[in-house]
Protein backbone atom coordinates (compact mmCIF):
# COMPACT_ATOMS: atom_id res chain seq x y z
CA UNK A 1 0.00 0.00 0.00
CA UNK A 2 1.56 3.31 -1.10
CA UNK A 3 -0.60 5.64 0.96
CA UNK A 4 -2.48 5.80 4.21
CA UNK A 5 -5.38 7.85 5.54
CA UNK A 6 -4.57 10.79 7.79
CA UNK A 7 -5.91 10.39 11.32
CA UNK A 8 -8.03 13.54 10.98
CA UNK A 9 -10.08 11.83 8.27
CA UNK A 10 -11.28 8.74 10.11
CA UNK A 11 -14.10 10.47 12.00
CA UNK A 12 -15.59 11.73 8.73
CA UNK A 13 -15.11 8.36 7.05
CA UNK A 14 -16.75 6.37 9.85
CA UNK A 15 -19.73 8.73 10.02
CA UNK A 16 -20.17 8.58 6.25
CA UNK A 17 -19.97 4.77 6.18
CA UNK A 18 -22.53 4.42 8.99
CA UNK A 19 -24.96 6.81 7.29
CA UNK A 20 -24.53 4.95 3.99
CA UNK A 21 -25.26 1.57 5.63
CA UNK A 22 -28.36 2.92 7.39
CA UNK A 23 -29.86 4.87 4.48
CA UNK A 24 -28.97 2.72 1.44
CA UNK A 25 -31.59 -0.05 2.02
CA UNK A 26 -34.41 2.53 2.18
CA UNK A 27 -33.30 5.29 -0.19
CA UNK A 28 -31.06 3.84 -2.88
CA UNK A 29 -30.27 7.08 -4.68
CA UNK A 30 -29.38 8.93 -1.47
CA UNK A 31 -27.39 5.92 -0.29
CA UNK A 32 -25.47 5.87 -3.56
CA UNK A 33 -24.67 9.57 -3.17
CA UNK A 34 -23.42 8.93 0.35
CA UNK A 35 -21.25 6.13 -0.99
CA UNK A 36 -19.68 8.55 -3.48
CA UNK A 37 -19.14 11.07 -0.67
CA UNK A 38 -17.40 8.37 1.38
CA UNK A 39 -14.96 7.67 -1.46
CA UNK A 40 -14.37 11.43 -1.83
CA UNK A 41 -13.51 11.69 1.87
CA UNK A 42 -11.08 8.78 1.53
CA UNK A 43 -9.48 10.58 -1.41
CA UNK A 44 -9.24 13.94 0.35
CA UNK A 45 -7.55 12.53 3.47
CA UNK A 46 -5.11 10.31 1.58
CA UNK A 47 -1.54 10.49 2.84
CA UNK A 48 0.78 9.05 0.17
CA UNK A 49 4.34 7.86 0.71
CA UNK A 50 6.85 10.35 -0.66
CA UNK A 51 10.52 10.11 -1.75
CA UNK A 52 12.38 12.72 0.32
CA UNK A 53 15.69 14.06 -1.09
CA UNK A 54 18.53 13.15 1.27
CA UNK A 55 20.62 16.17 0.31
CA UNK A 56 20.56 19.56 2.04
CA UNK A 57 17.82 21.10 -0.10
CA UNK A 58 14.52 22.82 0.68
CA UNK A 59 11.43 20.83 -0.27
CA UNK A 60 7.85 21.92 -0.76
CA UNK A 61 5.74 21.86 2.43
CA UNK A 62 2.58 21.08 0.46
CA UNK A 63 1.07 19.78 -2.76
CA UNK A 64 -0.49 22.40 -5.02
CA UNK A 65 0.16 25.26 -7.42
CA UNK A 66 2.68 28.07 -6.99
CA UNK A 67 0.70 31.33 -6.86
CA UNK A 68 3.41 33.73 -5.66
CA UNK A 69 7.21 34.01 -5.74
CA UNK A 70 8.89 37.19 -4.56
CA UNK A 71 10.60 39.23 -1.88
CA UNK A 72 8.62 39.82 1.31
CA UNK A 73 8.84 40.66 4.97
CA UNK A 74 8.10 37.89 7.44
CA UNK A 75 4.69 37.87 9.14
CA UNK A 76 4.70 40.51 11.88
CA UNK A 77 3.98 37.82 14.48
CA UNK A 78 7.52 36.47 13.93
CA UNK A 79 9.10 39.69 15.25
CA UNK A 80 12.01 39.22 12.82
CA UNK A 81 13.07 42.01 10.46
CA UNK A 82 14.62 41.74 7.02
CA UNK A 83 13.60 40.60 3.56
CA UNK A 84 12.91 36.95 2.74
CA UNK A 85 12.04 34.94 -0.35
CA UNK A 86 8.35 34.06 -0.14
CA UNK A 87 6.83 31.16 -2.08
CA UNK A 88 3.07 30.59 -1.84
CA UNK A 89 1.32 27.31 -2.67
CA UNK A 90 -2.43 27.05 -3.26
CA UNK A 91 -4.12 23.74 -2.48
CA UNK A 92 -7.47 22.99 -4.07
CA UNK A 93 -9.81 20.29 -2.76
CA UNK A 94 -8.22 17.66 -5.03
CA UNK A 95 -4.69 18.09 -3.68
CA UNK A 96 -3.16 16.09 -0.86
CA UNK A 97 -3.63 18.31 2.20
CA UNK A 98 -1.04 16.73 4.49
CA UNK A 99 1.76 19.23 5.17
CA UNK A 100 5.45 18.31 5.31
CA UNK A 101 8.50 20.02 6.79
CA UNK A 102 10.60 21.87 4.19
CA UNK A 103 13.87 21.55 6.14
CA UNK A 104 15.36 19.96 9.23
CA UNK A 105 16.01 22.00 12.35
CA UNK A 106 14.38 23.15 15.58
CA UNK A 107 10.94 24.70 16.01
CA UNK A 108 11.60 28.14 17.52
CA UNK A 109 8.05 29.47 17.57
CA UNK A 110 4.46 28.51 16.74
CA UNK A 111 1.80 31.20 16.58
CA UNK A 112 -1.87 30.64 15.76
CA UNK A 113 -3.64 33.74 14.44
CA UNK A 114 -7.41 34.03 14.13
CA UNK A 115 -8.65 35.61 10.93
CA UNK A 116 -11.04 35.64 8.02
CA UNK A 117 -11.71 33.07 5.30
CA UNK A 118 -10.97 34.70 1.97
CA UNK A 119 -10.14 32.54 -1.05
CA UNK A 120 -6.69 31.13 -0.37
CA UNK A 121 -5.33 31.84 -3.87
CA UNK A 122 -5.41 35.63 -3.38
CA UNK A 123 -2.46 37.45 -1.78
CA UNK A 124 -4.45 39.13 1.01
CA UNK A 125 -5.19 35.71 2.53
CA UNK A 126 -1.57 35.60 3.77
CA UNK A 127 -2.23 38.52 6.13
CA UNK A 128 -5.96 38.38 6.81
CA UNK A 129 -7.00 34.71 6.90
CA UNK A 130 -6.86 32.35 9.84
CA UNK A 131 -3.32 30.96 9.92
CA UNK A 132 -0.70 29.07 11.87
CA UNK A 133 2.87 30.40 11.75
CA UNK A 134 5.83 28.07 12.32
CA UNK A 135 9.40 29.36 12.71
CA UNK A 136 12.20 26.84 12.04
CA UNK A 137 15.93 27.36 12.67
CA UNK A 138 18.31 24.97 10.90
CA UNK A 139 21.79 23.85 11.97
CA UNK A 140 23.31 26.86 10.17
CA UNK A 141 21.16 29.24 12.25
CA UNK A 142 19.11 30.17 9.19
CA UNK A 143 15.46 31.03 9.77
CA UNK A 144 12.61 29.55 7.74
CA UNK A 145 8.92 30.26 8.26
CA UNK A 146 5.98 28.12 7.18
CA UNK A 147 2.43 29.47 7.36
CA UNK A 148 -0.58 27.16 7.20
CA UNK A 149 -3.43 29.34 5.93
CA UNK A 150 -7.13 28.50 5.93
CA UNK A 151 -9.16 29.28 2.83
CA UNK A 152 -12.75 29.89 1.80
CA UNK A 153 -13.77 26.30 2.56
CA UNK A 154 -10.97 25.25 4.91
CA UNK A 155 -12.03 25.85 8.50
CA UNK A 156 -9.59 23.76 10.50
CA UNK A 157 -5.79 23.92 10.67
CA UNK A 158 -4.05 21.01 12.38
CA UNK A 159 -0.40 21.31 13.50
CA UNK A 160 1.30 18.46 15.36
CA UNK A 161 4.48 20.37 16.22
CA UNK A 162 5.68 21.82 19.53
CA UNK A 163 8.12 24.62 20.25
CA UNK A 164 11.75 23.48 20.79
CA UNK A 165 11.01 20.24 18.95
CA UNK A 166 13.73 18.91 16.64
CA UNK A 167 12.29 18.08 13.23
CA UNK A 168 13.40 16.29 10.08
CA UNK A 169 12.87 17.47 6.51
CA UNK A 170 9.96 15.77 4.75
CA UNK A 171 8.22 14.56 7.91
CA UNK A 172 4.49 15.20 8.19
CA UNK A 173 3.54 17.97 10.57
CA UNK A 174 -0.14 18.74 10.01
CA UNK A 175 -3.07 19.14 7.66
CA UNK A 176 -5.44 21.90 6.52
CA UNK A 177 -8.94 20.67 5.80
CA UNK A 178 -10.77 21.38 2.55
CA UNK A 179 -8.80 23.82 0.39
CA UNK A 180 -6.05 26.09 1.68
CA UNK A 181 -2.69 27.80 1.19
CA UNK A 182 0.83 27.34 2.52
CA UNK A 183 3.41 30.14 2.48
CA UNK A 184 7.09 29.44 3.01
CA UNK A 185 9.71 32.12 3.68
CA UNK A 186 13.37 31.40 2.86
CA UNK A 187 16.49 33.51 3.51
CA UNK A 188 16.85 36.17 0.81
CA UNK A 189 20.07 34.66 -0.58
CA UNK A 190 18.18 31.52 -1.62
CA UNK A 191 17.23 31.25 -5.29
CA UNK A 192 13.90 29.63 -6.23
CA UNK A 193 13.98 26.54 -8.43
CA UNK A 194 10.24 26.64 -9.11
CA UNK A 195 8.15 28.93 -11.30
CA UNK A 196 4.82 30.71 -11.05
CA UNK A 197 1.88 28.35 -11.75
CA UNK A 198 4.10 25.28 -11.37
CA UNK A 199 2.56 22.22 -9.71
CA UNK A 200 4.59 21.01 -6.72
CA UNK A 201 4.55 17.87 -4.58
CA UNK A 202 4.94 18.09 -0.81
CA UNK A 203 8.16 16.55 0.49
CA UNK A 204 9.50 15.89 -3.02
CA UNK A 205 9.63 19.04 -5.16
CA UNK A 206 12.80 21.03 -4.46
CA UNK A 207 12.05 24.71 -3.91
CA UNK A 208 15.66 25.80 -3.39
CA UNK A 209 19.12 24.23 -3.52
CA UNK A 210 21.29 26.52 -1.35
CA UNK A 211 24.51 24.53 -1.75
CA UNK A 212 24.11 24.03 -5.51
CA UNK A 213 24.13 20.25 -5.15
CA UNK A 214 24.41 18.73 -8.62
CA UNK A 215 22.99 15.25 -8.04
CA UNK A 216 19.82 14.74 -6.05
CA UNK A 217 18.79 11.27 -4.91
CA UNK A 218 15.24 10.63 -3.71
CA UNK A 219 15.96 7.58 -1.60
CA UNK A 220 14.20 8.20 1.70
CA UNK A 221 10.63 6.93 1.66
CA UNK A 222 8.22 8.55 4.11
Residues tagged active-site: 180
Tell which residue, 209, 201, 198, has the closest CA to residue 67.
Answer: 198
CB-based contact 104:168 (threshold 8 Å): yes
List Cα–Cα distances, 131 to 23, 30, 139, 143, 149, in angstroms: 38, 36, 26, 19, 4
Amino acid sequence: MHFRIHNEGWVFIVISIILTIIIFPFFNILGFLLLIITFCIFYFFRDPIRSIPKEDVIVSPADGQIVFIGESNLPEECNISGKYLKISIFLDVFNVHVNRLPTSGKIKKIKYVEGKFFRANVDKSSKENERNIIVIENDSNEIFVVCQIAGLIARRIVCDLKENQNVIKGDRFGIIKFGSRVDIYLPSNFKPLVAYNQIVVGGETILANPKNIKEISNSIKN
